[in-house]
Amino acid sequence: MKRLFLSLCVVILSLSPLSAKQLFNVKTIKVVKVMDSEYKDFYGYTKPNEETTRDVVLRYDAFVSDIYANKTLTYVKKGEPLFRAYSPEVYTAEQELLGALRINNKGMIDSIAQKLKLLGVDEGVIHKIIIDKNTPEQITTYAPYSGYITQKKINQGSFAPKGSRLYELSDYSNLWMMVSVYEKDVAFVKNTKTAELFFDITTKPYRAKVDYIYPNVDAKTKSVEVRLLVDNASLELPINAFARVRFSGMKKEYLSLPKSAVLTKGSQHFVFAKGEFEGEYEQKEVNAKRLFNDTFEIISGLKEGNEVVANALFMFDADAQINGALQ
């Protein structure tokens, strides 16, 4: 094995003053045992969870007179009024309910009340008709669930036929995070269950659950889309929020050296191990694996506590100078 003896006078005389000083101040580092996990970073963005997106659809013909929820991307709570409209079909059913109340026919009352429910009339409205014995000419439609108005297809004065899709409400309290993962990394992601999310829009830490890995590869980017579920109960995260997504593997114990201490030549890896005598360093091949965090896992060739040169590239250059000086 090749050895460097830094104390040789011929070497020192052959080097510049700066190089000689550096060679007498070679810093070493010990091989350490660590417990850590490999991770891989990708990028993604938020989008509405399609499973929580719902429509508000009319079950009767209606003429819209007033709109209370009139802007997209505004938030409405369940039970808040959306719009008010006149419906001949609903008004006729309300009149039938009044007739049943006048003759106190419980069977008819229950039947007509159920008919109004099936038409989509709010139970509170039906209860008020029964108590007040009065029928409003126009009926108010309330939000059946909470969410952001992502689509609005209704205007004041509109005629809305039965079956019309008037609103789309999206519940942003649970979002999808769409992440592009390289083909070669899909197997790594499959073995993880959660991911850490780092958003530009907030410093709050988020974790997300791996929900689905799509079964197709983008021919241009050679990547696969991975879908995560993100809890957004605080509604802090908007749609299309950009994030760095980190998938981490299982923690394991291994021997570690920083990248600077390992010299790579093709598929081979070398270190300069401290020798028996002061100023003696031996170039030694090791079995090593480059990791995610600018470190190497030392699989074989070194033991815990062994000392190597901290800057292998500098030592390699010095070795070249020394061998040139001795020739």
pLDDT at 256 over 70: yes
Q: What is the pLDDT of residue 148?
A: 94
pLDDT given at position 316: 60
pLDDT at 317 over 90: no
Structural domains present in the chain: 3-36+252-326 (2.40.420.20), 39-50+172-248 (2.40.30.170), 59-163 (no CATH)
Name the pLDDT band for 25 (thresholds 50, 70, 90): low
Give bridge partners of residue 141 from the DSSP assignment.
83
Locate 45 and state its tokens: 């963005």
pLDDT above 70 covers a percentage of the chain that reads: 87
Bin 14: left if φ > 0, else alpha if -120 < ψ < 50, else beta: alpha
Residue 246's pLDDT is what? Answer: 92
Closest CA to 28 of 284, 283, 324, 272: 272
Confidence of residue 255 (pLDDT cuts 50, 70, 90): confident
Cα–Cα dist 263/162, whole Å: 74
CA distances from 258 to 246, 281, 310 (A): 21, 18, 8
Query: CB burial class (10 A; 0-12, 13-18, 19+) of residue 150?
Result: middle
HSE (side-chain half, CA atoms, 13 Å) at 74: 11
Mean pLDDT of 177-193: 91
- Mean pLDDT, to the nearest integer, of 103-119? 92
The pTM score is 0.64
Q: Mean pLDDT throughout 169-177?
A: 94
Q: Predicted confidence band at 7 (pLDDT cuts at 50, 70, 90)?
A: very low
How would residue 225 be classed by pLDDT, with cut points 50, 70 and 90?
very high
| Mean model confidence pLDDT for the chain | 85
